[in-house]
Structure 1
């Protein structure tokens, strides 16, 4: 493999690995903030105690995830200087601005107030302490916004001009400068899609963990007998502690799904205009035609991993849907992959100069197989969350004393199985976003294509062995971190929240503590 291929693999590995933690931190910080809000505002001491316990229970896992996410995120940003120095030289004046804002504004907001939240229990006024976790939630979303703004410049560069003397992209006050970068239409479309995806990840996590404990306590209560004090304790844990959390997570899943669908539709329409090759490849739409169907199943030729459209056979499709997604017009004409490739060769040239000064023939088609299937995995994996949501609503139906819990082992294990599916869907979405942009690392703006850079022109001029060595080292270190992260999260999740205990003399509930016994 060449240094370019190894550098792409290394960035892909570190990015996808880091993104395991990002959506859970973003989504879980908001859900924990809402849990604590419900505890603070509750007039009922039983409900107040229950939501306080859930806040601290899921808060302990938020802390673990946040810590690992910081370590992996710092390494990811160093990739730009390590393996992609030519890219950094070309767009550093623009790309560095939102990254700096992310560090100066969002990261400090998250880290400072997370520390206050962790160590402020019982030491700060209740409502002031509540504001600290809301500051963390706002900080995580602000962090996402700045990162998405930086990535969106790579997808659709705005607010900058090319300096002919230095050959660098520079912020242009005449075009709005940094404000244009931060209000890029691509950013405004991508942000709600990414954030709602993070909410889905966190809500599926909350539902899965809470459902596991609800079923466990339900069965334990039946085993001990509801007439015994121990049985009643487990019965109340299932009904009053974990059942409300399951239903809370389900509501969050439905709300995130609504935002996902609406924002995804808006983002697709923008992408059809800005990056028609990416969307044509996502549908394996090879030839220009009208009334384009949405492909459900397509098989490739003898070389499934090729950019070549030859041998592509559409087996199952929904008529007109892709044209509707692109323009809201079922009869709209959309350009195919091969026609777009020919158009780009005429516009940008059939060859390009790489970092070594060699003229290299250019194919403007991305990897068709990866682009097509990552797009479908992004959408298809969400089906697990839909099944869990409706199953959980049915299993926990009823109100008051008639509120139900379930002892179904099938439900218990399916909710756990569904936890990683939104994670995988999020990762598949980013694979689609980045692979579908190839061969560009900075995709040209259709209205002003002067700022553009090919991936082969953005890599550092390192020898292959050096990139391979760092890739292997990072992969091994990240593998070890993954084991530690999983064990700590598993330990915290299986431990569960401490069950409510009443003082025999005063009948008051005990106060749950935030555990650090990792």
Structure 2
């Protein structure tokens, strides 16, 4: 398989995923903030909270529409660019995606309509229920997507069938309750809550600086600061849990994030900053904090964290084991029926089948893994090391932003409690400038998750090089350019609509509710 096709297919999926995730966090967070604001309205009867719900709901609607449009393409790419991946693991991977489409997406989309057009048609409590269903649907949608993604990181509840050459579900409950998936879900939605909170905070700060809609702005900032502070704390806690799970299930990812080339005595130090070199296989000018990494990753003082070189040596042994499994697999498939399978081949496969995916790493260099040379085996073992500098810096910038969000939101929480939100113009300007930062942190989080998984489609089971479709490089390049162009246009459209809606501000509460969305889209015409 041409590496050009592989690289282009990876780039295409990365670009569409990163574009799509520009819209997902705001949808997740704003849906819950809308439900909180409308709950206050129903409990107090004060129309300012209804006006707030409608205004932020209009921005939610713009973001939701564009997010749906960008998300649909991603699922079709599995069949288009990753056909063997879809064949190999479709029985497991397809189920969460189907549930997401049938249950979460339709639940969310149905109640989004009721939210926008049901203000005069439903009772206060009925409309509030619809709003909460929008929030629940948004989060359920994220749950099933992250169940699928979590299984790619930690493939549990499935077994390989040598007769069909496919992974099959052994225990769907294990797939759903996968600890990696559950940690990723809560971490991701919490990051969405932080994103929406800082977005609301920044827009409200702009209103205060302009002296417009100050009542709405102050109340919105109070809700956003409180909700966002709780969410930012949970992001850090759950990020720590994800690191602990990586120690168990994705040791190479953790070692690459830390640029830990050699195994250290326990407890390992944390590299605060440094300059890792993949070619030299060392980290220069490293500033290290003793014990911290060991405590975070293992919750102990005596458990070692293996370094990259030790993990590469383990990968080389697993490749050799996988070659035995591959050889036995050919004998099993040649038998034609279960009864005719040679007992020796069956025994060898049962002993080494868990390493079959490692033998497939050799497909990058040779058609038949059994014909691989020692040099090719060694190279394939080093291929299990992802881009260390990318992971090292992406992780540190993301974590740094996470701690900044805690401090930032805590400051506004204290100011809101003291009713001094408009006393510090410089802080308000900082809030406006900080609006893009949660998106940067979220995108870097996905870079860490997905680059850290390479070279695997499914961790330890199916290499990326074996999952790609047999397409021409020109075809993939053309679709890549097309998607980037269309998504860029959609992004510009969304930004234009959002800016117009923000500049226009909230509608008077006695405005006809049924035309709220058209007004938001029309801007200040």
Q: So what's the TM-score if we normalise by structure 1?
A: 0.86
- How many Å apart are 1:104 and its aligned residue? 0.5
Aligned-residue offset at 1:241: 2.3
Q: How far, CA to CA, are the matches of 2:286 and 2:179 in structure 1?
A: 35
Distance in 2 (CA, whole Å) between partners of 1:129 and 1:391 is: 34
Question: What does 1:399-438 correspond to in 2, within 5 Å?
Answer: 403-406=419-422, 408-438=424-454
In structure 1, how many angstroms separate the alpha carbons of the residues matched to 2:505 and 2:179? 43
Asked if the contact 2:226/2:413 (under 8 Å) is kept, the reply is no
1:254 and 2:225 correspond: no
1:329 maps to 2:327: no
Partner of 1:197: 191
Quote the offset at 1:170 in angstroms: 0.8
Contact 1:295 1:318 in 2 (8 A): yes
- Deviations 1:62-114 (Å, cap 9, x if unpaired)? 00111001111000111101111111111011100000000000001000111
Deviations 1:248-269 (A, max 9, x none): 1011111102211221122211
Asked if 1:487 corresponds to 2:496, the answer is yes
Alignment partners' CA distance in 1, 2:144 and 2:365? 29
What is the CA–CA distance in structure 1 between the aligned matches of 2:144 and 2:289, rounded to whole Å? 37
Mapping of 1:231-310 within 5 angstroms?
237-238=213-214, 240-290=215-265, 291-301=267-277, 306=278, 308=279, 310=281
Check the 8 A contact 2:61/2:517 in 1, yes or no: no
Distance 1:320 1:264, change over 3 A: same
SS in 2 for 1:161: strand
Asked whether 1:16 is paired with 2:1, we answer no
Among 363, 372, 375, the alignment partner of 2:395 is: 375
Measured in 2, the distance between the counterparts of 1:119 and 1:266 equals 41
Kindly tell me the number of residue pairs found equivalent between the two proteins. 466
After superposing the two structures, state which structure 1 stretch, 112-121 or 287-296, moved more: 287-296
1:443 to 459, 463, 481: 459
The equivalent of 1:231 in structure 2 is none
* Aligned partners of 1:24 and 1:198 also within 8 Å: yes
CA distance in 2, matches of 1:154, 1:311: 29
Distance in 1 (alpha carbons) for counterparts of 2:216 and 2:21:
31
Residues 478-517 of structure 1, C-alpha deviations (whole Å, 9 max, x = no match): 11111101111111122222467xxxxxxxxx46843422
Compared with structure 1, are the counterparts of its residues 355 and 182 closer, same or farther at alpha carbon in structure 2 (3 Å cutoff)?
Answer: farther
Is 1:179–2:199 an aligned residue pair?
no
Over 3 Å counting, the alpha-carbon distance change for 1:119 and 1:4 in structure 2 is same
Q: 2:158 aligns with which of 132, 151, 160?
A: 160
The alignment status of 1:461 with 2:470, answered yes or no, reads yes
1:211 is matched with which residue? 205
Could you report, residue by residue, the CA deviation over 1:302-353 in whole angstroms, capped at 9, with x for unpaired residues? xxxx4x4524224222211110011112343211011101111111247612
Deviations 1:426-469 (A, max 9, x none): 1111110111111111003xxxxxxx000100111111111111
2:44 & 2:71 partners in 1: Cα distance? 37
Cα offset for 1:26? 0.8
Find the aligned partners of 1:463 and 1:168 in 2 and give their Cα distance.
25
Whichever structure has more helix as a proportion of its residues is 2
Closer, same or farther: CA 167–354 of 1 in aligned 2, 3 Å:
farther
Equivalent residue of 1:441, what SS? strand
Task: Give CA-to-partner distance per residue, 1:147-169, whole Å, 9 cap, x none.
Answer: 01101111111111111012100
Aligned to 1:228: none
Are the counterparts in 2 of residues 26 and 195 from structure 1 also a CA contact under 8 Å? Answer: yes
2:312 corresponds to = 341
Q: Which residue of 1 aligns with 2:336?
A: none
Work out the CA distance in 1 between the residues paired with 2:203 and 2:251.
41
Give ranges in structure 1 of 5+ residues lacking alignment: 218-233, 445-451, 501-509
User: Mean alpha-carbon deviation: is it higher for 371-380 or for 147-156?
Assistant: 371-380
**Cα separation, partners in 2 of 1:94 and 1:394, compared to 1, 3 Å:** closer
**What TM-score comes out, normalization by structure 2 length?**
0.85
User: Once the 2 structures are TM-superposed, how far is the Cα of residue 119 of structure 1 from its aligned partner?
Assistant: 0.7
Whether contact under 8 Å (1:388, 1:414) holds in the other structure is no
On the 8 A contact 1:199/1:256 being kept in 2, the answer is yes
**Which has the higher mean CA deviation after the structures are superposed, 370-379 or 23-32?**
370-379
TM-superposed CA distance for 1:215, in Å, is 2.3
Query: Residues of 2 paired with 1:435 and 1:309: CA distance?
Result: 20
Cα distance in 2 between the residues matched to 1:142 and 1:105: 8
Does the aligned pair in 1 maintain the 2:229–2:410 contact within 8 Å? no
In the other structure, the counterpart of 1:74 is 72
Instruction: Tell me: CA distance 1:382–1:265, structure 2 relative to 1, closer, same or farther (3 Å).
Output: closer
CA distance change for structure 1 residues 393 and 61 in 2, over 3 Å: closer, same or farther? same
